Chain A
Amino acid sequence: MSWSLFVWFAAAAALCWVVGSVLAFVSKKTWPAASASLLGTVAMLVFIVGMWVTLKRPPMRTMGETRLWYSFFLSLIGVVIYLSWRYKWILSFSTMMSVVFLAVNLFKPEIHNRPLMPALQSPWFVPHVIVYMFAYALLGAVTLYAVYLWIHSSRLAGRHRAEPTLEEMKRCDVLVRVGWSFLTFGMVMGALWAKEAWGDWWSWDPKETWAFATWLGYLGYLHLRQRRQDPRTAFAVLVVCFLLLQMCWYGVNYLPSARGISVHTY
């Protein structure tokens, strides 16, 4: 497997996802849309596994490689949410976001092959990256869901606002709780790994600082929801948290405060 084949896998995956999104609206049954979307996800998985075998290391070393995982997980989570709650629109949103990240890989590759330096040769490397990418994808999906509920609830239904139901808010909370659990796994694994590699649990590396801010942000959301605040405040907090997450994932690479000093630059 090589990056030269990526365009074909990306095209096949995108086509399957688009077909799945359309089928979600056209078909009365859920399985045609879910199957088509899952086929796209499998195409991504085949490419990822193929790269893993070819590179003789996990494809998690470069920004381009992490985007593969993001698209893979996001499409998978989209299908799970669709099958669980029958939201037709979620497949369109997850397709849109997954395709954007595939397109970024096509137009701004950042995929050059880098060897695995000694610090990355650890049993923590693969779980640390995978749980983070899963958390990022899940929290991306919940942001889409929150924005949808926000826009939907702002429309006037007759003379009253169409408020989100308890069940909808609970789904939001559940997704954030799962996403936050995975952020916690990623952070704790990172700390345990850092202690083995460098002798410090935490060194306030710029990436770590933003990871801490993101983790705290979603923790704030969970605490805010205990008081059953206005859903719109909760949605606004989720959007801010999502921005923190983007900063943590790749925004930090462009910050003057991080340039040249972060051990997480990739």
Chain B
Amino acid sequence: MLPWGYKRAFLCCALLFLLGVVLQFLLGAVPPHLLHYPWSAVAALVYVYALVLVYILSDRFPRLRRLSDPYSGFASIASVTLLSVIFGLVPQTGETGGALGALGWTDMRSSWAFNLLMLYMMTGIGISVVSGLHHIRTRRFVPTLSHLAVFLVLLGAFFGSGDKVEALVTAERDRPVAVGEDESGQEVELPFMLNLNDFTIDEYPARLHVVDPAVGKLSADFLQADAAGALAAVEGWDLEVLKVFDMAARMPGEDGYRELKHVGACPAALVRATRAGESVEGWVSCGSFMFEESELELSDGRLVRMPRRQAKRYLSDVTLLTGKGEKRVDISVNHPARLGPWRIYQSGYDMSRGRWSNESELLCVKDGWYPLIAFGLWLLLASGVLMFISAGGRRPKKEGKR
């Protein structure tokens, strides 16, 4: 039999869910930029103040304790878990038609029910943090720390999401740009100018696969064509690289490729394929935006194909110009540049031109709540370490039956 405490807490979650459904019907999805600075910061402070007030008043009004008791803690976690499972199962297409769309489940992150239940969970965590900090005890130190960390992350995510500015800038070589586009295609003016000095791509060596043209799927095995003499058995054929060029081109009227260090050049390999005495030889190339690809046809109807080489690293050499001066930075994936509250990320390039891309896509992000969320996450990491160390807790004095 479920204790009344759990029934009450789950009932509360169910009512919040129903309220969310009603709000979804009446107002549609939660607007993505509901709060902006300074109102977002004011709302966050008022919310935290309200939590402290609830904690103080809970002595006079014991019912307020129900917001953060273990029953509501478990019920809110279980409810958010359930909605997260639905979140994971329902394709997030954003469509508003049909029952799932009307409930907001096709865009769960913006649905009222999900946000209200997350808010309920965050409120319980917040009050328990206030309580934990008020009655700081060694025994409760680690749980208080982890609750505080989760609370800070959720607080930043809830109240700070509207303040985030994202602008995707397509920078061409030596053409300064100060305007980007947000997700909806709206222009976003940047407080700085960005000039792409150079853009370089390192690529992995070319690979040779055997492919059945009727199926089109590349063989799992391959020959890495990084040097002449490379050998491998692929799909029953022994492939050998006789000659390989990193940059090559096939001139009109010629059968073979020749080395050419020029814009648009593509990798090419002279390949010999042998199987049970039979042998085929020819050039294979993945081509480029200038030159067509070449394949080697085998006697069994299959082809030796070189897919486009994959990027190992791409790097933008950028100058950032502001009213105060200029700053030259290298930006690559996992290595963004910083300029005040802005971070500039390497996002992409002109895939059709590959290594000869003249433009670089850079994502400029302004996130004023970065320090709070980063602090919360590092605190969560630290509390995880402490939880791991103290996981064993105190040993019970003697073994007994439950």
Contact = CB atoms under 8 A, between A and B. Distances in A.
A202 B154 CA distance: 11
Nearest to A240: B81
A164 B346 CA distance: 55
A206 B92 CA distance: 9
A217 interface: yes
A220 B108 CA distance: 21
A154 interface: no
A237 B363 CA distance: 42
Nearest to B401: A163
B109 A178 contact: no
A5 interface: no
B380 interface: yes
Interface residues of A, number: 59
B89 interface: yes
B280 interface: no
Interface string A88-128: 00000000000000000000010011011111011000000
A118 B336 CA distance: 13
A174 B312 contact: no
A153 B152 CA distance: 41
A227 B71 CA distance: 8
Contacts of B92: 204, 257
A191 interface: yes
A117 B345 CA distance: 16
Nearest to B400: A166
Interface in B90-142: 90-92, 108-109
A202 B346 CA distance: 18
Contacts, number: 143
A87 interface: no
Contact of A220 (B77, B313, B343, B346): B77
Contacts of A231: 402
A209 interface: yes
Contacts of B78: 220
B85 A213 contact: yes
A188 B400 contact: no
Interface stretch (A10-18, A40-48, A68-76, A192-200): A192-200
A30 B85 CA distance: 42
A184 interface: yes
A216 B396 CA distance: 28
Nearest to A110: B220
B384 A121 contact: no
Contacts of B74: 220, 223-224, 227
Contacts of A219: 77
A185 B3 CA distance: 34
Contacts of B384: 181-182, 184-185, 188
Nearest to A160: B401
Given A115-B310, A223-B74, A199 B88 contact: no
B388 A196 contact: no
Given A188-B381, A204-B87, A231-B402, A118 B387 contact: no
17 contacts: A112-B220, A113-B222, A115-B204, A118-B314, A119-B333, A174-B391, A174-B392, A177-B387, A189-B381, A196-B335, A197-B345, A201-B157, A213-B84, A220-B74, A220-B78, A227-B3, A231-B402
Given A181-B387, A223-B70, A247-B88, 20 more contacts: A115-B204, A115-B310, A118-B311, A118-B333, A121-B334, A165-B399, A167-B396, A181-B385, A182-B388, A185-B384, A192-B374, A204-B108, A213-B81, A213-B87, A216-B77, A216-B81, A224-B74, A226-B70, A244-B81, A244-B85
Shortest beta-carbon contacts, A-B, top 8? A213-B84, A118-B333, A199-B365, A181-B388, A184-B384, A257-B91, A177-B391, A220-B77
